Amino acid sequence: MAQFPTVAVEEGLAVPNSVAGSGATQMAIALRGLFTMGTPPDLARVLATTGGLTITLTPGTVFGLYIRNVGVNPVQVTWTPTAGSSAVIQDLAPGAFIAFAQPANAAAVVTATPGITALTLTALTASTPCEVAAIG
């Protein structure tokens, strides 16, 4: 599996390329440091279909999200922000990823309610595997 680049965060957590384990494990460790929410998120492998795969977000609203296209076909990412409308966010080429992080207390400094409440992955040409990690 491909190695992720070194990731350093304020807490001093670093994930060098030489860390034993899969790239997925390394990304889960990096996400833990980036979101500083304690337990590393589970990194799920899902299959995006041309009809759209709705991902169940637990606990309902998530404040951190990582999605990577690990297949050979493009995948469209659609999500719904809290108290907002569903929108296409990005088409991910093979190997591409998108990450989102916003603290739960962000409402104190932004006008919108933070978080994402719904997520759909749609394969644009044929079913495609993706990795997904979410933190509530």
Taking the model in full, what pTM does it have? Answer: 0.71
Split into its structural domains, the chain has a count of: 1
In a domain, 12, yes or no: no
**Residue 107 belongs to domain with CATH number:** 2.60.120.10
Which pLDDT value is given to residue 13?
A: 38
Distance of CA 63 to the CA centre of its chain: 10
Which pLDDT value is given to residue 120?
A: 97
In a domain, 130, yes or no: yes
List the pLDDT tens digit at each of the 136 positions of the chain: 333 333 333 333 344 444 444 555 556 555 555 555 445 566 789 999 999 999 988 778 888 888 999 999 999 999 999 888 999 999 999 999 998 887 766 656 666 678 899 999 999 999 999 999 887 7
Which pLDDT value is given to residue 93?
A: 96
In a domain, 105, yes or no: yes
In a domain, 110, yes or no: yes
In a domain, 8, yes or no: no
Strand partners, 120: 54, 78
Order of all β-strands in the sheet with 64-69: 44-48, 128-135, 64-69, 97-101
In a domain, 21, yes or no: no
Which pLDDT value is given to residue 108?
A: 61
**The dihedral of CA 60, 62, 68, 72: what is its sign?**
positive
Which pLDDT value is given to residue 112?
A: 67
In a domain, 10, yes or no: no
In a domain, 7, yes or no: no
Structural domain that includes position 70: 39-135
DSSP 43: -
Which residues make Cβ contacts (< 8 Å) with residue 99, sequence separation at least 6?
Answer: 31, 34, 64, 65, 66, 67
Is residue 6 within 8 A of residue 15, CB to CB? The reply is yes
